[in-house]
């Protein structure tokens, strides 16, 4: 799914009305109906008083339309409408049709009455906002937020939020529990910098004309199930274990062998024909007992890896999990990686060792996949001003050095060697647990071993990892989710992807 700018989305609306021969009012009605249905379903039963704050433009028109639909469902919402000398045409039409609701006018410096435990809908400002609001809005938003922080939803965007540019914490913006955004996600809502503005995000398909999407150029995409389904291969009935590749998992040190167990287990569950782990001698018994389906090779030393393996027998290689950063390991790893041409999945301590080099990207094999968490990324590329800046830096590096980055987190970001940026749509906060990243590295290494190109291995791997976590928390509370649980649900994730 393409991620479009606010201007592109506005033009998409216009082209839809033109091609489908409908009015902007018809499109608003379609959006309002879908929004109301989703909201009533997600928060059923709504028994609290409903308060809707509406602006003067079409976002406010959406809010007024929601009030009308709620009236028809037997609700009696209170509507606060921003006082203005100029409303949009569709906003005015909704005002005329909204005869039975309790409509009150407000200005941003007003004190408003909000019933206790009200369910609040924010439709004051939408995607049309391109500059920060005046500071007077800060106090107004605060009184809305304090009325009931756990029950505020936003229509398209939280009021005060600027979709396509970095937000500053000084900018007045309403914090909401959930944002219902139309058709495609707005990039700003996917960035960690802005996590305080909206706790969750729901996409609503309002039937915009997909035939015109090719007109809109973008490098940003939101991964959907269908994007992964079209990339997955269908195995032949004549396949054998060699068909599914041999994955090599390199890492571990005294006290950190578990990371290799997790990574190797994930590779097996993802479908590798063969999995071999390369660890210090201290890891052999642990691996052989915990993963009887895998093989194990050991370094000559007991506690750390000193001599790194030859790769010619392996099609997918992940390295770095639990590796440690002793001087011996560092020196030998750098000498080893300088000689490699095969793409690698590079994680954890391997990234930390590389970060100590003047320019680590010069010695990383092309088409390698780097899987840093934010702190590891900072060590690799230096500081950034904001998340937009971070993504640009990583995007440029991926393009320049022909590598793929996976920046782990909620809405994990994948930047590819062809200059594209993907945001993952699967995963949950329960996956922020020890070993989750090791599991991801094993998944991606397995996919590389199965013959997937680096970009596809990264995209499928990140989505599959998150989907397994999402399926797991249907039976395991997020607080109790472990990395092993994620691997155990990879099979369920595959079944899910087979369903249209």
Q: State the pairing for strand pair 413-415/404-407.
A: antiparallel
Question: Is the separation of the CB atoms in 487 and 452 below 8 Å?
Answer: no
Backbone φ and ψ for 479, nearest 5 degrees, come out as -60, -30
Is 383 in contact with 359 (CB distance < 8 Å)? no
- The binding site for (6S)-NADPHX consists of 58-62, 126-132, 156, 322, 373, 438
Residue 160 neighbours by CB under 8 Å, 6+ apart: 125, 129, 132, 133, 137, 141, 171, 172, 173, 174
Q: Are strands 421-423 and 413-415 parallel, antiparallel or unpaired?
A: antiparallel
Of 67, 93, 436, 449, the C-alpha closest to 271 is 449
Contacts of 86 (CB under 8 A, 6+ apart): 56
Cα separation, 248 vs 256, in Å, equals 17
Task: Pick out the residues of the known binding site for K(+).
Answer: 59, 122, 159
d(CA 496, CA 500): 8
Closest Cα to residue 282, out of 301, 263, 308, 307?
301
3-state secondary structure of 346: strand
Binding-site positions = 58-62, 122, 126-132, 156, 159, 322, 373, 408-412, 437-438
The answer to whether the beta carbons of residues 81 and 50 sit under 8 Å apart is no
List C-alpha distances in Å: 238 to 63, 272, 275, 366, 447.
58, 16, 20, 32, 19
Cα–Cα distance between 410 and 430 in angstroms, integer? Answer: 10
Measured CA distances, 115 to 54, 146, 148, 238, 261 (Å): 17, 12, 9, 67, 54
Compute the chain's Rg from CA coordinates: 26
User: Residues within the annotated binding site for AMP?
Assistant: 408-412, 437
**Calpha distance 494→446 (Å, rounded):** 14
């Amino acid at each position: 799914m393409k991620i479009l700018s606010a201007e592109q989305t506005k033009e998409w609306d216009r082209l839809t009305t033109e091609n489908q021969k409908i009015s902007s009012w018809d499109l608003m009605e379609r959006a309002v109906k879908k929004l109301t249905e989703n909201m009533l379903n997600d928060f059923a039963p709504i028994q609290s008083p409903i308060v809707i704050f509406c602006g003067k433009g079409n976002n406010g028109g959406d809010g007024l339309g929601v009030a009308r639909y709620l009236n028809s469902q037997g609700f009696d919402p209170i509507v606060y409408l921003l006082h203005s000398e100029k409303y949009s045409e569709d906003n005015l039409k909704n005002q005329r049709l909204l005869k039975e609701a309790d409509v009150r006018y407000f200005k941003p410096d007003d004190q408003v009455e909000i019933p206790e435990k009200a369910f609040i809908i924010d439709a004051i400002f939408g995607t049309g906002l391109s500059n920060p609001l005046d500071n007077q809005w800060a106090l107004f938003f605060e009184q809305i937020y304090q009325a009931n922080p756990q029950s505020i939803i936003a229509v398209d965007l939280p009021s005060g939020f600027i979709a396509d540019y970095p937000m500053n914490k000084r900018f007045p913006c309403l914090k909401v529990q959930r944002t219902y955004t139309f058709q495609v996600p707005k990039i700003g809502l996917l960035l960690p910098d802005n996590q305080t503005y909206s706790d969750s995000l729901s996409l609503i398909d309002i039937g915009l004309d997909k035939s015109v999407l090719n007109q809109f150029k973008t490098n940003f995409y939101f991964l959907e199930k269908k994007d992964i389904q079209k990339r997955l291969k269908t195995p032949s009935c004549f396949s054998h274990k060699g068909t599914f590749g041999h994955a090599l998992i390199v890492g571990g040190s005294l006290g950190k062998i578990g990371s290799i167990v997790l990574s190797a287990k994930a590779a097996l569950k993802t479908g590798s024909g063969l999995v071999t782990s390369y660890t210090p001698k201290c890891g052999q018994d642990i691996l052989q007992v915990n993963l009887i389906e895998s093989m194990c090779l050991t370094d000559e030393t007991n506690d750390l890896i000193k001599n790194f393996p030859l790769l010619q027998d392996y099609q997918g290689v992940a390295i770095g999990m639990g590796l440690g950063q002793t001087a011996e390991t560092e020196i030998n790893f750098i000498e080893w990686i300088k000689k490699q041409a095969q793409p690698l999945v590079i994680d954890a301590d391997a990234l930390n060792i590389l970060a100590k080099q003047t320019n680590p990207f010069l010695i990383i094999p092309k088409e390698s996949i780097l899987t840093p968490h934010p702190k590891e990324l900072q060590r690799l590329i230096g500081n950034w001003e904001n998340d937009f800046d971070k993504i640009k830096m990583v995007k440029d590096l991926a393009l320049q050095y022909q590598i793929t980055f996976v920046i782990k987190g909620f809405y994990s970001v994948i930047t590819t060697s062809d200059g594209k940026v993907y945001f993952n749509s699967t995963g949950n906060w329960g996956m922020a647990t020890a070993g989750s990243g090791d599991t991801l590295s094993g998944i991606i290494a397995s996919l590389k071993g199965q013959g997937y190109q680096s970009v596809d291995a990264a995209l499928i791997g990140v989505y599959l990892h998150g989907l397994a976590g999402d399926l797991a928390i249907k039976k395991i509370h997020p607080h109790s989710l472990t990395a092993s649980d994620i691997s155990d649900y990879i099979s369920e994730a595959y079944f899910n992807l087979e369903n249209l």
